[in-house]
Amino acid sequence: MSKITIEGQNLLSGEVKISGAKNSAVALLPAAVLANKKSVIYNVPEIKDIGYLIEIMELLNCKIEQKDDALYIDSSKMKNVPIPEELSVQMRASYYFMGALLAKYGKVEISFPGGCNIGARPIDIHIKGFEELGAKVEIVKNRYTITAEKLVGKTIYFDFPSVGATINIMLAATGAEGTTIIENAAMEPEIVNVASFLINMGIEVRGAGTKRIEIVGTRKTTDAVIEVFPDRIESGTYIIIGALLGDNLKIKGIIKEHIEALLIKLKEIGIDFVIDGDTMTISRCENLRAVKVKTLVFPGFPTDLQQPITTLLTQAKGKSIVEETLYENRFRNTYDLNRMGAITNILTLNKLEIKGPRKLKGTNVIATDLRGGASLLIAGLIAEGTTVIENCDVILRGYSHLTTKLQNIGAKIEITE
């Protein structure tokens, strides 16, 4: 099991470039099977999850070539075969093959992982959406067989604006007869990224990025290209690192509109930065102020930056409160943060209190999940002494070239076996 070893308290300067968004890319690959024959996806991040998706697509007899950060996909000789459990349970986002293959073939067989370590994360909203479109869903243990003689478009109301369900139903609706309307749709940027790809295939999609999305089903699509948006969560993570250790650190690939809630919160904490075009310059800030953070669906404060900002708030003067409204178990990083000297206290399932400022000391810690691991990595970068993060693969899943990017801006960090 690989580990990350960090010598803390090094100022960081120079430039770091944000890669393509994991949460867009993992949906764009399955969506590519809906193109007529060929598609190209630019700015694909180099992370493990992409490797798993490529394996599944090659199993479906898609031809995939990688040139730099672009994937050239040919689905003209594709076969709809059951997706084996050992592949599809590696990552949750394999569930996007449900919508894509249902639209293309009217049938999909796939296993799906249950919850994960940040919460139960059911997919009832996805399943209800497929059934509303006329599909039959059989579930035996965690094996899903979804079939549809015919998918018929209709208005579907989401009880919760689920990102995954919005994308999955959008994909399925492309194969439905007539128009599908998703009411109470998620508005995250990744929805817009996927919708743009479908539009580039000649599919009529309107309203992506709003709460109401209209998709007109079609059997005819063209070849298409798309570029993956820069990763708003990766950029938020590096911005938080810059606020703690930056020395005129430049972060390239910022889309302000995608991280507005974070930027407003950082100002409230007393953090200064300059954004020029797509590049932010940020330096270490003193006298950070304690604040309240409440995670919400987009455009609210993103849950995926809750754990990273928790580490920042251990350095703020006073008592901060973090309220996590999306997941029921997303404070697992606080155990090791406290072992490093932070004072955090889980008040309720969804509420965390953080008292600061506190000097952190390096020690051995374990990454519990992707963003919890990012929180511990940030703690290691600011802590005195050495921090060793076990189970670091969970972090490398969501941050491409993590240690190289950090080494290039001056961090003393390496991956050891």
Kind plus residue range of the DSSP H or E element containing 170: helix 163-173
Task: Closer to ligand EPZ by CB, 26 or 352: give it.
Answer: 26
Q: How far is the CB of 270 from ligand EPZ (least distance, A)?
A: 27
Residue 164 binds ligand EPZ (CB under 6 A) = yes
Query: Mapping DSSP to helix (H, G, I), strand (E, B) and coil, where does residue 183 land?
Result: strand
Q: By CB under 6 A, what part of segment 325-354 binds ligand EPZ?
A: 326-327
Active site residue 116: yes
Size of site (CB under 6 A) for ligand EPZ = 27
Residue type present at position 253? G
Structural tokens at position 247 = 């020395």
Written as one string, the DSSP assignment of 238-304 is: HHHHHHHHBSSEEEE---GGGSHHHHHHHHHHT--EEEETTEEEE---SSPBP-EEEB-STTSB-GG
Instruction: Please identify which residue in the block is written with the tokens 């990012």.
Output: 374
Residues from 124 through 143 that contact ligand EPZ (CB under 6 A): 124-126
Min. distance of Cβ 129 from ligand EPZ in angstroms?
9
Give the contact letters, 288-327, x = binds to ligand EPZ (CB under 6 A), - = no.
Answer: ---------------xx---------------------xx
Q: How far is the CB of 385 from ligand EPZ (least distance, A)?
A: 28
State the minimum distance, in angstroms, from the CB of residue 31 to ligand EPZ. Answer: 13
Q: Which residue sits closest to ligand EPZ, CB atoms considered?
A: 164
Q: Which of 207, 199, 200 is nearest to 161 (CA)?
A: 207
Q: Which of these segments, 66-74, 155-163, 215-223, 352-360, binds ligand EPZ (CB under 6 A)?
A: 155-163
Q: Of residues 92-121, which lie at the interface with ligand EPZ (CB under 6 A)?
A: 92-93, 119-121
SS3 letters for 120-142?
Answer: CCCCHHHHHHHHHCCCEEEEECC
232 is a site residue for ligand EPZ (CB under 6 A): no
User: Is residue 103 a contact partner of residue 135, using CB atoms and an 8 Å limit?
Assistant: no
CB closer to ligand EPZ out of 25 and 316: 25
What is the rounded CA–CA span in Å between residue 148 and residue 131?
A: 9
Is residue 370 at the binding interface for ligand EPZ, with CB under 6 A as the rule? yes
How far is it, in rounded angstroms, from Cα 66 to Cα 278? 26
Candidate list 76, 139, 150, 160; residue touching ligand EPZ; CB under 6 A: 160
Closest CB 281 distance from ligand EPZ, rounded Å: 26
- Angle value at C-alpha 194, between 309 and 295, nearest 5 degrees: 25
Pick the piece of the chain touching ligand EPZ (CB under 6 A) from 57-65, 76-84, 122-130, 353-361: 122-130
Phi, psi values for residue 344, rounded to 5°: -125, 155
Q: Using the minimum distance from each CB to ligand EPZ, give the nearer residue, 227 or 304.
A: 304
Residue 82: name the closest of 29, 144, 33 by CA.
144
- Whether the link from the prior residue into 357 is cis, omega within 30° of 0, is yes
Task: Say how far apart CA 63 and CA 51 lie, in whole Å.
Answer: 14
x-or-dash pattern for ligand EPZ, window 12-51, by CB under 6 A?
----------xx--x-------------------------
Site stretch for ligand EPZ (CB under 6 A), options 51-59, 156-164, 192-200, 241-249:
156-164
Q: Which two tokens stand for residue 367?
A: 């990454």
Nearer to ligand EPZ, 93 or 366 (CB): 93
CB of 297 to ligand EPZ, least distance (A): 7
Residue 102 is inside which H or E element, if any?
helix 96-105
Q: DSSP strand E in 75-202: where?
A: 107-111, 136-140, 143-147, 155-157, 179-183
Q: Which tokens sit at 325? A: 């409204």
Task: Give the tokens for residue 42.
Answer: 């630019």
Q: For ligand EPZ, which is the closer residue by CB, 165 or 342? A: 165
Query: Judged by CB, which is closer to ligand EPZ: 375, or 387?
Result: 375
Does 215 help bind ligand EPZ (rule: CB under 6 A)? no
Minimum distance of ligand EPZ from residue 324's CB (angstroms): 10
The residues annotated as belonging to the active site are 116
Residues that bind ligand EPZ (CB under 6 A): 22-23, 26, 92-93, 119-126, 160, 162-165, 186, 188, 303-304, 326-327, 370-371, 398
